[in-house]
Amino acid sequence: MTFTDTLLFLRAWLRDPSMIGAVAPSGAALARLITRDVDPRNGPVIELGPGTGVFTQTLLDRGVPAHRLALIEADPTFANTLTQRFPATRVLNMDAAHLGLSEPLFGSERAGAVVSGLPLLSMPRDKALAIVEGLFSRQLRKDGTFHQFTYGPRCPLPPDELSELGLEATHMGSALLNLPPASVYRFRRRTSISMAI
Ligand SMILES: C[S@@+](CC[C@H](N)C(=O)[O-])C[C@H]1O[C@@H](n2cnc3c(N)ncnc32)[C@H](O)[C@@H]1O
What pLDDT does residue 53 have?
Answer: 97
Confidence class for position 23, pLDDT limits 50, 70, 90: confident
Q: What are 131-172's pLDDT values in tens digits?
A: 999 999 999 999 999 999 999 999 999 999 999 999 999 999
For residue 118, give the nearest of 28, 40, 46, 190 by alpha carbon.
46
What is the number of the ligand 1 atom nearest to the C-alpha of 24? 9
Question: What are the counts of helices (DSSP H) followed by strands (DSSP E) for the chain?
Answer: 7, 7
Q: What are 89-118's pLDDT values in tens digits?
A: 999 999 999 999 989 999 999 999 999 999
Structural domain boundaries of the chain? Answer: 26-189
What is the number of the ligand 1 atom nearest to the C-alpha of 49? 12
- Fold of the domain spanning 26-189: Rossmann fold (3.40.50)
Has residue 195 got a pLDDT over 60?
no
Query: Are 94 and 109 spatial neighbours (Cβ–Cβ below 8 Å)?
Result: no
Confidence class for position 128, pLDDT limits 50, 70, 90: very high
What is the number of the ligand 1 atom nearest to the C-alpha of 97? 19
Ligand 1: residues within 6 Å at CB? 19-22, 25-26, 48-51, 54-55, 72-75, 78, 95-97, 117-119
pTM of the model: 0.95
What does the alpha-carbon distance between residue 146 and residue 88 come to, in Å, rounded to a whole number? 23
